[in-house]
């Protein structure tokens, strides 16, 4: 099964976050990529919002740059009952081997999906066992460059657990969120403006 995704308008070139959501009502996935988690790292948060699906792989284009296994670090993951698990993430592509070698349930070969990405990260294995079921996962990728252009496209590979159909979903960004301002900044600006107005009034009275 392949789910389509519509591309939304970009709100700002100085984005801190890219968000993705597939169009099908179930299962529905959410992918967020954030460049503000820590310097030199991009944080990926992938989860199943609606329905039930076992996350198996994430493919993406990377603008010809190189990644290695050591650039990827797991932050957290949960299984179907929301308990924490520690799946092993494995990188395939470019300097780590052919993408298709990630095996059954991980590659994107076949109808309705891009057959080649720059990289594929294996998130889990086939099977619905408790500790082998990835409902949500958060991990970091060490890289340098602008978020809006560095990661150009994504695909999610998953497995239905209420049937034998696999899911190969090509994704495109549907939101580009600007870097949020500190909460007190608008208030500070208003205060400075008010002080400026008072000074002008006092200066006008003095010169009168």
For the stretch 58-107, pLDDT in tens is 998 887 778 999 999 999 999 988 999 999 999 988 766 566 677 777 87
pLDDT of residue 194: 52
CA distance 44 to 18: 10
CA distance 126 to 143: 29
pLDDT grade for 140, boundaries at 50, 70 and 90: very high
Which residue has 């030199």 as its token pair? 40
Q: Cis before residue 27, ω within 30 degrees of 0? A: yes
CA distance 31 to 29: 7
- Quote the mean pLDDT of the chain: 74
Looking at residues 13-28, what average pLDDT do you find?
74
Looking at residues 138-144, what average pLDDT do you find?
94
pLDDT of residue 161: 75
Give the rounded percent of residues in the chain with a pLDDT score beyond 70.
Answer: 65
Structure tokens at 32: 């967020």
Looking at residues 10-34, what average pLDDT do you find?
73
pLDDT of residue 1: 35
Distance, C-alpha 198 to centroid of its chain: 48
């Amino acid at each position: 099964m392949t789910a389509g995704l519509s591309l939304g308008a970009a709100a700002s070139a100085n984005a801190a976050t890219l968000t993705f959501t597939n169009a099908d009502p179930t299962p529905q996935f959410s992918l967020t990529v954030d460049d503000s988690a820590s310097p030199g790292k991009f944080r990926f948060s992938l989860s199943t919002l609606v329905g039930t699906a076992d996350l198996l792989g994430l493919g993406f284009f990377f603008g010809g740059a190189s990644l290695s296994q050591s650039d990827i670090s797991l932050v957290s993951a949960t299984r179907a009952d929301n308990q924490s698990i520690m799946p092993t993430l494995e990188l395939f592509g470019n300097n780590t081997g052919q993408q298709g070698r990630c095996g059954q349930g991980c590659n994107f070969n076949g109808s309705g999906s891009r057959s080649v990405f720059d990289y594929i990260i294996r998130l889990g294995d086939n099977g619905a066992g408790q500790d082998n079921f990835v409902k949500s996962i958060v991990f970091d990728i060490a890289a340098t460059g602008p978020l809006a252009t560095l990661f150009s496209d994504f695909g999610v590979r998953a497995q239905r657990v209420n049937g034998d159909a696999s899911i190969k979903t090509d994704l495109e960004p549907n939101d580009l969120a600007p870097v949020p301002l500190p909460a007190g900044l608008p208030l500070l600006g208003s205060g400075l403006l008010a002080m400026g107005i008072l000074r002008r009034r006092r200066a006008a009275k003095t010169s009168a």
